[in-house]
Amino acid sequence: MTRKATLTRAQFEDRLFGVLRWFVIAFLAVITVAPFYYMVLLSVKPIDALLLDPGSLWVSAKDFTLSTYRDVLKSTDDGGQGFVKFLLNSALVSLGTVILTLLAAVPGAYAVSRLKFFGHRQVSALFLAVYLFPATLLAVPLFVIFAKLGLSSSLVGLAIVYVAQTVPVAIYMLKNYLVTIPASIEEAAAIDGAGRLQTVRKVILPLALPSLMATGLYVFMIAWNEFLFALLFLAADPEKWTVSLGLAQLSNGVEVPKTILMAGSVVLTIPVVLLFFAAERMLTEGLTSGADKS
Amino acid sequence: MTTAPVGAPKRRHTSPGSADRSADRRRRPMTASRRANRAGLAFVSPTFVVVLVVVILPILWTVLLAFQHARLVDIQGMGLVGNWSLDNFTQVFDSAGFWSSLATTLLYTAGATLGSVLLGLVAALALRKPFRGRGLLRAAMLLPYVAPVVAVAFVWEVALSPQYGVVNDWGHRLFGWDNPIAFLSTREYQVNLLGAHFDIPLALLTVIAFECWRYFPFAFLFILARLQAVPAGLEEAAMVDGATLTQRFRHILLPQLMPVIALLCVLRFIMTFNKFDDVYLLTGGGAGTNVAAVRVYDFLTARYDVGAAAAQALVLAVSLMILLGFYFKFFGNKVQEES
Looking at the DSSP assignment, which residues form a beta bridge with residue B200? B189
pLDDT higher than threshold 90 for residue B120? yes
Contacts of A113 in chain B (CB under 8 A): 16-17
Summarize pLDDT for A4-34 with one digit per residue, the tens. 555 677 788 888 888 899 999 999 999 999 9
Looking at the DSSP assignment, which residues form a beta bridge with residue B193? B196
Contacts of A282 in chain B (CB under 8 A): none
CATH domain A82-284 topology: MetI-like fold (1.10.3720)
Query: Is-contact B204 B107, C-beta < 8 A?
Result: yes
How many residues appear in chain B? 339
The DSSP result for B224-271, as a single string, is HHHHTTS-HHHHHHHHHTT--HHHHIIIIIHHHHHHHHHHHHHHHHHH
> CA B54, B60, B61 angle in degrees (round to 5)?
85
Mean pLDDT of chain A: 80
Q: Which pLDDT does position A2 carry in this prediction?
A: 52
> CA B24, B25, B28 angle in degrees (round to 5)?
85
- A239 vs B: CB within 8 A: no
* pTM given for the model: 0.82
Q: Which pLDDT does position B13 carry in this prediction?
A: 46
Residue in chain B lying closest to A160 (CA): B54
Q: Which pLDDT does position B243 carry in this prediction?
A: 82
C-alpha A29: how far from its chain's center?
21
Summarize pLDDT for B185-195 with one digit per residue, the tens. 777 777 766 66
Q: Do B152 and A287 touch (CB under 8 A)?
A: no
**Lowest mean pLDDT across A89-103, B9-23, B25-39:** B9-23
Q: Which pLDDT does position B321 carry in this prediction?
A: 82
Q: Which pLDDT does position A120 carry in this prediction?
A: 64
Contacts of A163 in chain B (CB under 8 A): 50, 54
Q: Do B143 and A273 touch (CB under 8 A)?
A: yes
Contacts of B226 in chain A (CB under 8 A): 291-292
Query: Is-contact B288 B190, C-beta < 8 A?
Result: no
Half-sphere exposure at residue B245, Cβ-oriented, CA atoms within 13 angstroms: 15
- B221 vs A: CB within 8 A: yes
pLDDT higher than threshold 90 for residue B212? yes
CA dihedral A147, A148, A154, A156 (to 10 degrees): -130
* Nearest residue, CB atoms, B246 vs list A13, A164, A171: A13
Give the rounded percent of residues in chain B with a pLDDT score beyond 70. 82
Q: Residue A3, exposed/middle/buried by CB under 10 A (0-12, 13-18, 19+)?
A: exposed
Residue B68 to residues B26, B64, B84, B295: CA-CA distances in angstroms? Answer: 57, 7, 5, 19
* Nearest residue, CB atoms, A182 vs list B4, B40, B168: B4
**Lowest mean pLDDT across A204-218, B31-45, B144-158, B271-285:** B31-45
Sequence-distant (6+) residues with CB within 8 A of B211 are B108, B111, B112, B115, B116, B272, B275, B278
Residues 32-61 in B contacting A (C-alpha not used; CB under 8 Å): 33, 36-41, 43-44, 46-48, 50-51, 54-59, 61
Q: Residue A5, exposed/middle/buried by CB under 10 A (0-12, 13-18, 19+)?
A: exposed
Sequence-distant (6+) residues with CB within 8 A of A67 are A46
Q: Which pLDDT does position A131 carry in this prediction?
A: 60
In this structure, what are the phi and psi dihedrals at residue B42, rounded to the nearest 5 degrees?
A: -65, -40
Q: Residue B109, exposed/middle/buried by CB under 10 A (0-12, 13-18, 19+)?
A: buried
Instruction: Report the run of H or E that residue A40 belongs to, with start and end.
Output: helix A2-43
Q: Do B300 and A28 touch (CB under 8 A)?
A: no
Min Cα distance B253 → chain A (Å) is 12
- A151 vs B: CB within 8 A: no
CA–CA separation, B191 and A49 (whole Å):
33
pLDDT higher than threshold 70 for residue B15? no
Residue A187 to residues B10, B19, B268: CA-CA distances in angstroms? Answer: 16, 11, 40
Q: Which of A32, A51, A93, A138 to mutate to test the interface with B (most CBs of B within 10 A)?
A: A32
Domain positions in chain A? 2-73, 82-284
Residue A94, amino acid = S
